[in-house]
């Protein structure tokens, strides 16, 4: 009756999970943290990503979260096992749910999956491992797309700049003709328009959405507390709030509050 879901990301990307949570758990409260002072995570070392992930999780637990959605591909790929070992509450990452969905699509097609992610996610090999745990025969190609996160954080999700980088990163993969393309960084579904245009014919898997769907298997709508979401960031709450309204597709998003995440 009074459980609360906590969602975190380095910035705006986790809103792709939050948007799906709002659909599934209509009118139910959640707590969102975006680490806007330290974004991007995807260019950092695994040790730094892990340290940030512990602080983000501690903050949400401190605010009363009873389940955590790690709505960040980079953290899910580099620190999920450490988080699960350390915290005594359900922790759902994006890698396994997205890999499962992509594998289903691939196994009904030519058996090919492209993974798009941050440099740290691609370097970790986490998506390949998760897909090959399901079926070793699936061919996987991974592509790091480091400019996608700054584009999204600055609101450039459509138009020439977004298309330029989408072509730069994705055209070299067209020969692979993947059945499924995992948007393995939760920022990337905000760029679905340009990505889908370049990779026409492949099914795009939204990792944030898949994580929210996976969370719904752990917690029921009835168990969760009613109310508006609380948004927290570590810097620049105005610009986060402005873009959060766009990405959640609704008004009435309360102004994000600022938190000193280094103190957690």
State the residues that interact with ligand DGL by CB under 6 A: 9-10, 13, 39-42, 72-74, 118, 121, 149, 185-187
Q: Residue 166's closest CA among 137, 205, 130, 195? A: 195
Strands (E), 71-173: 91-92, 112-117, 139-144
| 72: annotated active-site residue | yes
If the CB atoms of residues 13 and 97 are measured against ligand DGL, the closer one turns out to be 13
d(CA 105, CA 181) in angstroms, rounded, equals 10
Mapping DSSP to helix (H, G, I), strand (E, B) and coil, where does residue 119 land?
A: helix
Distance of closest approach, residue 227 Cβ to ligand DGL, in angstroms: 25
d(CA 66, CA 151) in angstroms, rounded, equals 32
Strand (E) or helix (H) holding 252: none
Q: Residue 69's closest CA among 243, 261, 229? A: 229
DSSP of 140-158, one letter per residue? EEEEE-TTHHHHHHTT--S
Distance of closest approach, residue 39 Cβ to ligand DGL, in angstroms: 5
| 185: annotated active-site residue | yes
If the CB atoms of residues 72 and 166 are measured against ligand DGL, the closer one turns out to be 72
Among 26, 50, 72, 258, which one carries the catalytic annotation? 72
If the CB atoms of residues 8 and 30 are measured against ligand DGL, the closer one turns out to be 8
Distance of closest approach, residue 9 Cβ to ligand DGL, in angstroms: 5
The tokens of 148 are what? 């996608």
d(CA 217, CA 236) in angstroms, rounded, equals 34
d(CA 82, CA 54) in angstroms, rounded, equals 9
**Catalytic center residues:** 72, 185
């Amino acid at each position: 009756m009074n459980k609360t879901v906590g969602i975190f990301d380095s910035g705006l990307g986790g809103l792709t999970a939050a948007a799906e949570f709002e659909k599934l758990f209509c009118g139910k409260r959640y707590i969102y943290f975006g680490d806007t002072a330290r974004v991007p995570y995807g260019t950092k070392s695994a040790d730094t990503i892990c340290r940030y992930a512990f602080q983000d999780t501690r903050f949400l637990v401190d605010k009363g979260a009873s389940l955590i959605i790690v709505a960040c591909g980079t953290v899910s790929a580099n620190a999920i096992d450490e988080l699960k070992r350390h915290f005594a509450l359900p922790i759902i990452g994006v890698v396994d749910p997205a890999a499962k969905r992509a594998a289903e699509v691939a196994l009904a097609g030519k058996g090919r999956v492209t993974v798009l992610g941050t440099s740290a996610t691609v370097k970790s090999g986490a998506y390949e491992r998760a897909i090959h745990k399901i079926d070793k025969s699936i061919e996987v190609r991974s592509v790091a797309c480091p400019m996608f996160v700054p584009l999204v954080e600055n609101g450039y999700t459509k138009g020439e700049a977004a298309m330029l980088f989408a072509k730069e990163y994705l055209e070299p993969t067209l020969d692979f003709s993947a059945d499924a393309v995992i948007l393995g960084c939760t920022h990337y579904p905000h760029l679905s328009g340009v990505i889908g245009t370049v990779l026409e014919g492949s099914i795009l898997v939204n990792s944030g959405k898949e994580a929210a769907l996976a969370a719904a298997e752990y917690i029921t709508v009835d168990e969760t507390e009613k109310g508006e979401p609380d948004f927290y960031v570590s810097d620049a709450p105005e610009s986060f709030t402005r873009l959060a309204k766009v990405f959640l597709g609704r008004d009435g998003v309360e102004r994000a509050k600022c938190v000193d995440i280094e103190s957690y």
